């Protein structure tokens, strides 16, 4: 068995593999050069590829993502880092108005093959402006692909797919998973965007999860198994494209659905998944669809408060137990 690797190392590994095979792949962002990124997710890139391909920028989110867009429109495949996903709001014009629309509004004349990577999510006590899970922001914008891996190997396989994609991809790396270890990605590992992974088979209930909520759902499934409830866990891996077929197929067998999402309940991605199942999988359901999501408040600082707001293993098991009554 190969030595385990971290999620953090896998980010740099995934980018490096693509930079080796394609000279048009370039990186830009704050502190990504010699510093290797504030989360150490770019370690080694500067040394291997040099300052022309791994460029430090000023703290200018609009310039970072706007320049990445201009470079992508003219032949490069930029990988732009926005340090914390909360800061996407500083360049939201590019993600809401420019990048996703330019192909459409020019009648197909232009494309934007870029990746915007960003550290997402809570659980680390960073407070309200450095802890949000904002994949639902990107999910509301037609024209963006949205990826959020949960394992080191998936990080590499999805990074390859994202960089090779001719469409713009927002790539959410979860801060709470950076230290997590897993099997290294095999050589030439490329996953397909929009293909969910069934990470645990089960018969009684389907748990749909993403990124940080995948290990949470797995832990809940372990606990439920001890109570005699067999839970299936689906890691969506990407929100756009959304593997709705995998969810519908699973619910067709289990008849129960709990969606575990880190973003707030209000406007969360799980609402779209629930609406699809209500619309197209209604006949399969034996119980209401439940969503375990964050409370609709800003993320608090203290652990005791953050624990109240974020989803947890206990909240997932409680939701499933409540459905067992149906």
Partner 1 sequence: MTHQLLDRYEQMAVIRRTEKAAHDLFLAGKVKGTTHLASGQEAVAVGASAALRADDYVFATYRGHHHALARGASPAACLAELMSRSTGLCRGKGGSMHLTKADAGMLGSYAIVGSHLPMAVGAAWSAAYRGTGQVAVAFFGDGATNIGAFHEALNLAAVWRLPVLFVCENNLYMEYTPIGSVTPVPNPAADRAGSYALPSELIDGNDVEVVEDAVRTAADRARAGEGPTVIEARTYRHHGHSRTDPATYRPADEVEEWLARDPLLLARARLAELGVPEGKVDAADERAERLVKEAVAEAEAAPGADPADALTDVWADGGATWRS
How far, rounded to the nearest angstrom, does the alpha carbon of residue 185 sit from its chain's CA centroid?
A: 18
To the nearest whole angstrom, how small is the minimum distance from the Cβ of residue 321 to partner 1?
30
122 SS3 class: coil
To the nearest whole angstrom, how small is the minimum distance from the Cβ of residue 59 to partner 1?
9
Q: Which residues of the shown chain bind partner 1 in the complex (CB under 8 A)?
A: 26, 52, 55, 57-58, 60, 62-63, 65-76, 78, 93-94, 97-98, 102-111, 113, 142-143, 165-167, 194, 240-246, 276
- CA-to-CA distance for 11 and 5, rounded, in angstroms? 11
To the nearest whole angstrom, how small is the minimum distance from the Cβ of residue 193 to partner 1?
11
- CA-to-CA distance for 254 and 106, rounded, in angstroms? 45
- CA-to-CA distance for 110 and 97, rounded, in angstroms? 15
Strands (E) in 2-111, as ranges, are: 5-6, 25-29, 54-56, 77-84
To the nearest whole angstrom, how small is the minimum distance from the Cβ of residue 143 to partner 1?
5
Q: Which of 117, 130, 175, 256 is catalytic?
A: 130
Dihedral pair phi/psi, residue 201, rounded to 5°: -85, 140
- CA-to-CA distance for 200 and 128, rounded, in angstroms? 33
- CA-to-CA distance for 232 and 214, rounded, in angstroms? 11
174 catalytic, yes or no? no
Pick the closest to residue 290 from 275, 272, 274 (CA basis): 274
When the beta carbons of 113 and 270 are compared against partner 1, the nearer one is 113
- CA-to-CA distance for 291 and 274, rounded, in angstroms? 8
- CA-to-CA distance for 162 and 146, rounded, in angstroms? 9
To the nearest whole angstrom, how small is the minimum distance from the Cβ of residue 240 to partner 1?
5
When the beta carbons of 3 and 52 are compared against partner 1, the nearer one is 52
**Residues recognised as catalytic:** 130
């Amino acid at each position: 068995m190969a030595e385990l690797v971290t999620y953090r190392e896998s980010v740099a590994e995934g980018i490096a593999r693509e930079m080796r095979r394609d000279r048009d792949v370039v990186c830009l962002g704050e502190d990504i050069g010699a510093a290797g990124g504030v989360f150490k997710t770019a370690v080694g890139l500067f040394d291997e590829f040099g300052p022309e391909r791994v460029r430090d920028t000023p703290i200018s989110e609009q310039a970072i993502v706007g320049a990445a867009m201009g470079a992508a429109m003219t032949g490069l495949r930029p990988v732009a880092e926005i340090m914390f996903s909360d800061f996407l709001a500083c360049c939201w014009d590019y993600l809401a108005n420019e990048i996703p629309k330019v192909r459409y509004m020019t009648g197909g004349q232009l494309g934007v093959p870029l990746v915007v990577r960003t550290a997402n999510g809570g659980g680390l006590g960073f407070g309200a402006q450095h802890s949000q899970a904002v994949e639902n922001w990107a999910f509301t914008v037609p024209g963006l692909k949205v990826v959020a891996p949960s394992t080191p190997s998936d990080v590499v396989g999805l990074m390859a797919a994202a960089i090779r994609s001719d469409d713009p991809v927002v790539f959410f790396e979860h801060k709470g998973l950076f230290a997590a270890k897993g099997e290294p990605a095999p050589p030439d590992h490329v996953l397909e965007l929009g293909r969910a992974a069934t990470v645990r088979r089960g018969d009684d209930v389907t748990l749909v999860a993403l990124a940080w909520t995948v290990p949470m759902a797995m832990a809940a499934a372990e606990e439920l198994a001890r109570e005699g409830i067999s839970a299936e866990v689906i890691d969506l891996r990407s929100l756009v494209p959304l593997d709705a077929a995998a969810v519908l197929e699973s619910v067709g067998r289990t008849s129960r659905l709990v969606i575990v999402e880190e973003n707030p309940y209000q406007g969360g991605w799980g609402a779209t998944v629930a609406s699809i199942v209500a619309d197209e999988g209604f006949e399969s359901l034996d119980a209401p669809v439940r969503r375990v999501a964050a409370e609709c408040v800003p993320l608090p600082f203290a652990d005791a408060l953050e624990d109240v707001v974020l989803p947890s293993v206990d909240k997932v098991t409680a939701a499933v137990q409540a459905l067992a009554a149906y």
